[in-house]
Amino acid sequence: MQYLSSPLHYFTDTMDSANQTALSDGEGAMAAAAASSMASYSLLRLLPEIQTVEILLALAIFVTIHSLRQRKSHGLAVWPVVGMLPSLLLALRDDMYEWVTRVLDERGGTFTFRGPWFTNLQCVVTADPRNLEHLLKTKFSSFPKGPYFRNTVRDLLGDGIFGADDETWRRQRKAASLEFHSAEFRSMTVSSLYELVHKRLLPVLDEAHESRTAVDLQNVLLRLTFDNVCMIAFGIDPGCLRRGLPDIPFARAFEDATEATIIRFLTPTAIWKALRLANLGNERRLARSLKRVDEFAYEVIRTRKKELQLDSSRGGARSDLLTTFMRQRDEDGREFSDKFLRDICVNFILAGRDTSSVALAWFFWLLNKYPEVEASILAELRKIEVKRMEYLQAALSEALRLYPSVPVDHKEVVEDEIFPDGTVLKKGTKVIYAMYSMGRMESIWGSDCRDYKPERWLKDGRFMSESAYKFTAFNGGPRLCLGKDFAYYQMKFAAASILYRYHVKVVENHPIAPKIALTMYMKYGLKVNLHKRDDATLLET
């Protein structure tokens, strides 16, 4: 029975197994179908996300290809939302002035910079002399400094001449012009410079020579011009160039305030205003520096007023700007306010401190690269007085062409305009004119534009000035620098006094790079060693 039942049992088990297998296969098919349906449903749910990723990827590829093509054809990429900001940030890490020069050269002398859409970093940049004559002279009234520039620098410069427009500017310009051309002012500037050079500058350099130590010539020259300009503006001597080169709180505060102000131009207006309101970051540094500047300026003003009240005759003996303006009255016959006096003196210090010293630093660096120029200057120094040093003036002008003390300047158009090169300017457009770049444009100065050649300024041995719209180191048009003649005299006298006594040798491997600032400082200063000349004698004016 067991044998007979075993096949039956086997058959039954087999059938049951088959049924179970069939049932299992059916359930599997149903499960697979369900899984497939769920997968399809999931894919349908993910489809928008997948499409979004595909669209973003395609857009990124398109933008990249477009930007690369644009960069290849125009040298500058314009990205969505952020505009040209990435290129600018990379340039700030390297050399922004050379970057601007390259772009201008590729774009024919003018280009439109487009910053992020949510910022005010939009402007037209130009280095075309035709455009400069248009904005500085022909249509001067259409291109004021403008509210953007004025609001950015107001905390430092107040309503002084460099940020002022219209009647405020004209009133200050007229008063300052009368003073600059007076015999008393000219006498005071020359005598103060002579005293500073012979009693401060040369002893400091002699000390460095005798101790065989390198000296930062840019720092020394900045101290010279700061002392000189403070004597001219305030009638006081801060003593920056005393032996030991002491730290002067007012000078330090003024430099810090200037550097903090330039950072505003690289920061969206809404951001720096918010930082100022919260007293944070760069704005906190600026406020702290301005407090020291104002304390110094207002103390000098109060002291001078007391001196003049006690002894009015002493006012007549002074010819500094502060005392001169204290003797004058405004258009309503009233005394100028302390704020006005502070603003005009601070503006003059800013202009007078940096122009000469920064230019001289680059001048001495260039002489190291072009020893034949130094030899020609020395030949001239041995036989000609300062005022007639034609070759020296040419050498200084050539240094200013390549390294202008103010590398860029700013205007803002108040009505729709068209530049001579065809660039369309809408009302409110900010215009940057790049003096540094102009000195490196072949279209302006020829194929040797990057060479240091004082001879380009000479004709039959006489110095020949260039158009103010080709050589804009001292601006042009109605805003031509009032102190241009004094700046040249200051530079010539200081340079001649140093060169006659010393060969200035730049320290080997000392890094040279421009600093991003209102004026073109050398970022790392100018470390030099001084080698005394055998035939050194004191120069006389």
In a domain, 20, yes or no: no
Predicted confidence (pLDDT) at residue 196 exceeds the cutoff of 70: yes
In a domain, 88, yes or no: no
- Paired strand residues for 503: 531
- Of 503, 526, 2, 539, the closest CA to residue 222 belongs to 526
> Which amino acid type is present at position 186?
R
Average pLDDT over residues 157-175: 88
Residue 86: the pLDDT is 66
In a domain, 1, yes or no: no
Considering only residues 227 and 117, tell me which one the structure prediction assigns the higher pLDDT.
227
State whether residue 150 is helix, strand or coil. Answer: helix
Instruction: Give the position of tokens 């050398």.
Output: 522
Average pLDDT over residues 186-215: 94
Tell the burial category of 436 from Cβ atoms under 10 Å away from its Cβ (0-12, 13-18, 19+): buried
How far apart are the C-alpha atoms of 493 and 387, rounded to whole Å?
A: 9
Predicted confidence (pLDDT) at residue 94 exceeds the cutoff of 60: yes
Residue 437: the pLDDT is 97
Dihedrals phi, psi of 446, to nearest 5 degrees: 95, 180
- Of 525, 485, 13, 468, the closest CA to residue 219 belongs to 525
Predicted confidence (pLDDT) at residue 156 exceeds the cutoff of 80: yes
Average pLDDT over residues 182-209: 93
Residue 541: the pLDDT is 38
Residue 500: the pLDDT is 94
Instruction: Give the position of tokens 């209102």.
Output: 518
How far apart are the C-alpha atoms of 532 and 202, rounded to whole Å?
A: 12
pLDDT digits (tens, 9 = 90+) for 450-488: 999 999 999 998 999 999 999 999 999 999 999 899 999
Long-range contacts of 196-203 (CB under 8 A, 24+ apart): 196/224, 196/227, 196/228, 196/231, 196/241, 197/224, 197/493, 197/494, 197/497, 198/497, 198/538, 200/224, 200/227, 200/241, 200/242, 201/241, 201/494, 201/497, 201/498, 202/497, 202/498, 202/501, 203/243
Torsion of CA 402, 405, 407, 410, to 10 degrees: -140
pLDDT digits (tens, 9 = 90+) for 388-423: 899 999 999 999 999 999 999 999 999 999 999 999
Residue 120: the pLDDT is 65
In a domain, 353, yes or no: yes
Tell the burial category of 344 from Cβ atoms under 10 Å away from its Cβ (0-12, 13-18, 19+): buried
Residue 516 has which token pair?
């991003």
CATH of the domain at 422: 1.10.630.10
In a domain, 201, yes or no: yes
State whether residue 527 is helix, strand or coil. Answer: strand
Predicted confidence (pLDDT) at residue 264 exceeds the cutoff of 50: yes
In a domain, 330, yes or no: yes
In a domain, 97, yes or no: no
Predicted confidence (pLDDT) at residue 424 exceeds the cutoff of 80: yes
pLDDT bracket for residue 90 (50, 70, 90): low
Q: Does 481 show up as a binding residue in the annotation?
A: yes
- The number of distinct structural domains making up the chain is 1
Q: What is the mean pLDDT of the chain?
A: 84
How far apart are the C-alpha atoms of 330 and 352, rounded to whole Å?
A: 25
In a domain, 462, yes or no: yes
Residue 7: the pLDDT is 37
Domain that holds residue 505: 122-532
Average pLDDT over residues 372-401: 91
